[in-house]
Amino acid sequence: MLALKRKPFHGGIHPTGHKELTANEATINSDEPQRVYLSLQQRNGVVLRSHVNVGDTIVKGQLIATGPNDMCVPLHAPINGVVDAIGPHVSAHPSGLKVNTLVIRGNGDPNWGIPHVPCDTSKLSPEEIIQRVLDAGIVGLGGAGFPSGMKLRFARQKQVHTLLLNGGECEPYLTCDDRLMRERAAEVAAGAALMVRAIGCSQGIIAIEDNKPASIDAMRSAISDRPQLSVQVVPSLYPMGSERHLIKAVTNQTVAPGQLSTEIGILVHNVATAQAVYEAVRYQRPLIRRIMTVSGGALEQPANINVAMGTLVSDVIAKCGGLKMEAGRLIAGGPMMGQVLPSPFVPIDKSIGGILALSKDEIRAEQSHDCVRCGRCVNACPMSLMPFQMAAHSRISDLDGARHFGLDHCLLCGACSYVCPSRIPLVQYFQHARSSLNAARTMERKSAQARQLTEARQARLHREAEAKKAAKAAKAARKPRKRTARTSTRTQRNTSNNTSSS
Amino acid sequence: MMTLISIVALAAIGGLLGGLLGWASKALKVEGDPRVDELEGMLPGGQCGQCGEPGCRQAAEAMVAGKLGPDCCPPGGRSLAQSISSLLGVALTEGGEDIPVVARIDESLCSGCTRCFKACPFDAIVGANRQMHTVIRHVCTGCRLCEKACPQGCLSMDPVAPELHTWQWPKPKVA
């Protein structure tokens, strides 16, 4: 009963952690990769414009591509080297589609091409801090990949009062945030303090799940001289890392469905983002490396590894000793919300927090059965939805029905699929239904545009015909008038002749 | 006597109601089905004729009359078919969807005759007299009218390749 009372939000599950594989090993700093592959198209489809050409020599930290606006972050060179090619290469997107990719051949030199001297951050204005975050190309390192600078700017405009740092890391296997908080607690705290100043809010809370006692101790000692920061321990329950659920657990406030957390004055950032913000503001270093967990039963040496953006997954796995058996599945991210990688030759991007090479034993059999209406998914759903109903409607492509049961509010956290005794691929149904809905919306927009265009065209043709008719009429009207004008001048001339002759 | 009264009464009622109906059919006459107007507003309005009707108005009439299925409009695609089927209450047959296409001009063959440009109801082709023409891909609805108009045969219809933001998750296959 006590345990029930302490549950911080409805639903949630306790998946097997598997964190012991990597939690107690120090982070490995990977060498400069021989080649990096940087996608010139973001996941939302926005195309970046490259500022370099094939054959150009580039230095580590150099700006190499920018997007059309602040909503897409700039791209920086993660290594020193030469641009080898710009062409299609498979991306980390689950579709496995090829996108335009910039390939850099490295020369192995680990030094920054541009010197980055530390600056006195206390002299920077909030807007300067936000600008440095934007210029460094930082996106949310928790996985969503939203530009962090824009998030800070919105929060400043909304006058947010609390910054919440997400040290939940509720996904099984992943320990990169845990290791980061243990090894670089001071940098995380400094980054948090900078973000608090940038937003202009009163306090920053670092929320850490209770299964990471070493991180809690490290962060507590790191913030001891910063009165605006505090550490709050939250119970470990999946999906604690979700923004809404972390807010509920820490402040007991609920973010209404369809609303953003800034509406109730709270901004959530990942702890790894805070560390990147510190580097960006203090040293003006762009985000070109991140710490990620490489784990799974098929891997020889699971580890946390600090890896350059654009390194191929196959190179990262090789760095961790390679595979000791055939991997049943390669996953980018955690096992609950991660995406199956279409190929091992996919480059790492900023939002990938882990690579899992799962052995055959760690994957559940595909065989699924009919729904037995046990209701476990309803109990597990952290958004209080009815996953089995949503799946039933999605299965027959009744998207409106699925939306009626809350498809738009689904986090795609996978708790329902995890508990389902019939092994129904619930999340996959929701992914499919969501993307079909998006496609339908795009199609609707396109057909509305087509209708507008035909109407505009008909109006134009009508106008042109009218103008032609008017011109014809004017011409017809002008002809006799011209004649009369001519006759009048003639008579005038005649009269003048007459007067002169007379 | 009783029989006579009932016959007279029933005849009177019948006559009265018949007269009322006759009057109502004239006085309360509806000009066409209002659903036709609604449907016409939903259709793209390109008058492309791919449904087999001369124009969108006639297609809307045919759909209301049940002669055409709700998925008869290729430029409208699946989403239009779905909204039409929910408006008319007609079931949509699964799977019979056309692959979306867009027009492509082989620019090396284009003579700049402007016929495709004039044929396009959506202004999705740009070009001028004796100048090379090209298709604005995100505007093109794939209605194939330009394909018929081109005397050079340089217009072809390409299937739309999925991109990162248009790619769709496949439906899970359940055994």
Q: What's the pLDDT score for residue B96?
A: 54
Chain A residues with CB under 8 Å of a chain B CB are 41-45, 91, 93-95, 97, 99, 366-368, 394-395, 397, 400, 424-425, 428-429, 431-432, 434-436, 438-444, 446-447, 449-451, 453-457
Can you tell me the mean pLDDT for A162-169? 92
CB A51 within 8 A of CB A64: yes
Instruction: Convert the pLDDT of each residue in B147-159 to its tens digit.
Output: 888 998 888 888 8
Q: What's the pLDDT score for residue A482?
A: 52
Can you tell me the mean pLDDT for A319-344? 90
Q: What is the DSSP string of A323-365?
A: BSS--SEEEES-TTT-EE-S-TTPBP-TT--EEEEE-GGGSPP
Count of residues in chain A: 502
Please report which confidence band the pLDDT of residue B175 belongs to, taking 50, 70 and 90 as the band edges: low
Can you tell me the mean pLDDT for A238-251? 92
CB–CB of B141 and A432 under 8 A? no
Q: What's the pLDDT score for residue B85?
A: 86
Please report which confidence band the pLDDT of residue A446 belongs to, taking 50, 70 and 90 as the band edges: confident
Domain boundaries, chain B: 34-88, 101-159
Nearest neighbour of B44 by CB, restricted to A368, A432, A451: A451
Q: B146 labelled as ligand-binding?
A: yes
Domain boundaries, chain A: 376-436
Instruction: Convert the pLDDT of each residue in B104-115 to its tens digit.
Output: 999 888 888 989
Contact of B168 with chain A, judged by CB distance below 8 Å, is answered with yes
Residue A3 has pLDDT above 80, yes or no: no
pTM, entire model:
0.81
Question: Chain A residue closest to B140 (CA)?
Answer: A450
Mean pLDDT of chain A, nearest integer: 89
Triad B110, B113, B117: Cα angle to 5°: 90
The CATH code of the domain at B34-88 is: 1.10.15.40
- Can you tell me which residue has the tokens 């460094």? A136
Residue A283 has pLDDT above 50, yes or no: yes
Q: For B101-159, which CATH class?
A: alpha beta
Distance CA A228, CA A251 (A): 16
Q: B143 labelled as ligand-binding?
A: yes
**Both tokens assigned to A303:** 């580890």
ipTM surpassing 0.95, yes or no?
Answer: no
User: Which of the residue ranges A275-279, A468-472, B99-103 would you say has the lowest mean pLDDT?
Assistant: B99-103
Chain A residues closer than 8 Å to B60 by CB: none
Please report which confidence band the pLDDT of residue A313 belongs to, taking 50, 70 and 90 as the band edges: very high
Q: What's the pLDDT score for residue A58?
A: 93
**Among B50, B102, B164, B166, the residue to mutate for chain A (most A Cβ within 10 A):** B164
Which one has a higher pLDDT value, A134 or A498?
A134
Residue A368 has pLDDT above 50, yes or no: yes
**Both tokens assigned to B88:** 């008319």
Q: What is the DSSP letter of A13?
A: B
Can you tell me the mean pLDDT for A79-104? 91
Can you tell me the mean pLDDT for A372-393? 94
Residue A208 has pLDDT above 90, yes or no: yes
Triad A62, A67, A68: Cα angle to 5°: 140
Q: Min CA distance, B155 vs chain A (Å)?
A: 20
Can you tell me the mean pLDDT for B138-155? 87
Three-state DSSP at B142 gives: coil
- Can you tell me which residue has the tokens 């953006």? A309
Instruction: Convert the pLDDT of each residue in A29-64 to its tens digit.
Output: 888 999 999 999 887 778 899 999 999 999 999 999
User: Which of the residue ranges A22-26, A182-186, A198-202, B68-72 would you say has the lowest mean pLDDT?
Assistant: B68-72
Beta pairing, strands A162-167 & A303-308: unpaired
Distance CA A94, CA A342 (A): 6
